[in-house]
């Protein structure tokens, strides 16, 4: 990892006063300044924190539309038309925290559970039957009922579970902030990205929404990525829960943390998630004054894409199919599909029950998501090859910045899409997908890569699996 010999020991510290100063300055933005920022963004030049603050205060509809178009071009240039699919797997809802925005909060009285390894295996088999190859492991924070040993056992079980041709090839992990030693153990298990949502960077708000709980240690939470990367985890994923504090403040703080990691470790966030606060048990949205309307939400996603052109952006089933379709144009590169957000939720869904931590807005099946993506001209991707070929951390970013990563993403996406259709589709879907794959392959300029995709069609039909560049 770049800079490992000269890593400074300073951890992340949010400069609250500086952010407010930038926001005040940003309010004075002119059309000329916006035009200059967008011109530099088109060239994918790094924009400053003040630039970001100014973009956050754009009100003119024509400039907003121009900003959308710039972000859309950036996304296409870097990632092409592929969209990565994944699903969350909630393994435990035991939690010692009282986060005011969460359905798992300690004061909510319901039957808590954590999955046994047999139950984990059942959930994974259902997910594999859906076609999933990439999971996000989720759990509440409870050092007794859901300790690191339990999480490590879950990882082993997930990787060891096979259903016909189904296999989970990469597990991303979203668990509470922990120690360097525990992060090292996660890294040794072969996880993909370590994900942690800051929830809010505004320290005053943070303390209010995390009363009397472990998670209330603001400094420990904001420095978690430093410890994870010290432990050797090269890909980390961030996010805030939009709706808790001023969204403009959150965007600037998020970008400052990204810059901090770049300076210290040579690489910033691999992914950024953009969840909005949603109704949940014991959560009254009327008590939150910073809820995001759709227009502001679209602006924020767009600005993040412009600010970090090469970072993956994730949108979950918290958002409607319509909103997800819009934001795929302007920045989002990964979406969940067929999600259940409750412990044991996939098996219980089959039984006709609904067990979710929070309210979902997109309940389409993976097949429906895939068909809708193809209809819109996107390539649904189950690819996990970067993790397994060492294209992670700084190495991934180096390739991404050459705008050549899509030369690998596209053929791998097409191959995994056909693999999905062969294993989980009926004849109608297989024919449709094969036609789509051939059409998309014909657009690949490099004849060797084009042939790679076309040959994979026959290989997959013949029983070969897990083909990638």
3-state secondary structure of 195: strand
> Do 214 and 267 touch, CB atoms closer than 8 A?
no
> Do 383 and 80 touch, CB atoms closer than 8 A?
no
How far is 199 from 434, CA to CA, in rounded Å? 42
Task: Read off the pLDDT band of 351 (50, 70, 90).
Answer: confident
DSSP element (H, E) containing 172: strand 170-174
Torsions phi, psi of 145, nearest 5?
-85, -15
Task: Provide the pLDDT for residue 460.
Answer: 96
Over 70: is that where the pLDDT of 195 sits? yes
- Reference 166, options 387, 430, 422; nearest CA is 422
Of 181-190, 398-407, 444-453, the poorest mean pLDDT is in 398-407
How far is 194 from 136, CA to CA, in rounded Å? 9
pTM across the whole model: 0.94
Q: Where are the alpha helices (DSSP H) in 283-401?
A: 294-307, 321-330, 345-350, 366-375, 385-389, 393-401
Task: Provide the pLDDT for residue 23.
Answer: 97
Task: Provide the pLDDT for residue 14.
Answer: 86
> Do 151 and 133 touch, CB atoms closer than 8 A?
no
Higher pLDDT, 315 or 352: 315
Unique residue bearing structure tokens 């089959």: 350
What one-character DSSP code corresponds to residue 342?
A: S
Over 60: is that where the pLDDT of 281 sits? yes
Q: For residue 351, what are the contacts with CB-CB under 8 A and spacing of at least 6?
A: none
> Do 342 and 316 touch, CB atoms closer than 8 A?
no
Handedness of CA 315, 316, 318, 323 (dihedral sign): positive
How far is 163 from 145, CA to CA, in rounded Å? 28
How far is 148 from 150, CA to CA, in rounded Å? 5
Unique residue bearing structure tokens 């668990």: 175
Task: Read off the pLDDT band of 3 (50, 70, 90).
Answer: very low
């Amino acid at each position: 990892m770049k800079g490992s010999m000269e890593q400074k020991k300073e951890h992340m510290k949010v400069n609250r006063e500086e952010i407010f100063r930038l926001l005040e300055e940003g309010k004075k933005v002119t059309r000329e300044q916006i035009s200059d920022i967008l011109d530099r963004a088109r060239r994918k030049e790094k924009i400053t924190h003040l630039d970001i603050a100014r973009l956050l205060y754009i009100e003119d509809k024509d400039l907003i539309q121009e900003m959308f178009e710039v972000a859309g071009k950036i996304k296409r240039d870097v990632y092409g038309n592929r969209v990565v699919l994944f699903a969350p797997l909630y393994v435990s809802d035991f939690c010692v925290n009282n986060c005011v925005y969460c359905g798992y909060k300690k004061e909510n009285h319901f039957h808590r559970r954590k999955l046994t390894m047999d139950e984990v295996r059942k959930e994974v088999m259902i997910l594999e039957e859906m076609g999933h190859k990439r999971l996000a492991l989720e759990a509440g924070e409870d050092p007794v009922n859901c300790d690191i040993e339990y999480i490590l056992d879950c990882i082993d079980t997930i990787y060891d579970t096979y259903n016909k041709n189904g296999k989970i090839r990469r597990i991303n992990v979203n668990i509470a902030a922990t120690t360097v030693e525990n992060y090292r153990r996660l890294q040794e298990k072969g996880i993909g990205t370590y994900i942690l949502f800051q929830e809010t960077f505004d320290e005053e708000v943070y303390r209010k929404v995390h009363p009397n709980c472990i998670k209330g240690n603001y400094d420990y939470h904001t420095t978690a990525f430093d410890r994870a990367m010290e432990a050797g985890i090269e890909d980390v994923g961030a996010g805030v829960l939009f709706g808790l504090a001023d969204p403009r403040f959150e965007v600037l703080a998020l970008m400052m943390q990204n810059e901090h990691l770049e300076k210290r470790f040579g690489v910033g966030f691999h992914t950024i998630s953009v969840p909005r606060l949603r109704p949940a048990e014991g959560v009254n949205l009327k008590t939150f004054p910073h809820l995001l309307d759709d227009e502001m939400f679209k602006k924020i996603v767009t600005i993040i894409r412009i600010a970090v052109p090469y970072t993956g952006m994730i949108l979950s089933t918290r958002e409607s199919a319509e909103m997800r379709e819009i934001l795929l144009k302007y920045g989002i590169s990964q979406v969940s599909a067929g999600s259940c957000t409750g412990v044991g939720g996939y098996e219980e869904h089959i039984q006709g029950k609904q067990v979710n931590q929070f309210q979902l807005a997109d309940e389409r099946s993976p097949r429906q998501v895939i068909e809708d993506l193809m209809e819109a001209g996107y390539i649904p991707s189950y690819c996990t090859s970067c993790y397994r070929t060492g294209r992670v951390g700084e190495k991934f970013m180096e390739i991404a910045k050459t705008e050549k990563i899509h030369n690998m993403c596209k053929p791998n996406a097409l191959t995994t899409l056909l693999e999905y259709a062969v294993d989980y589709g009926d004849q109608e879907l297989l024919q449709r997908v094969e036609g789509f794959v051939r059409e998309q392959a014909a657009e690949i300029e490099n004849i060797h890569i084009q042939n790679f995709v076309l040959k994979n069609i026959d290989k997959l039909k013949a029983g070969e699996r897990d083909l990638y560049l």
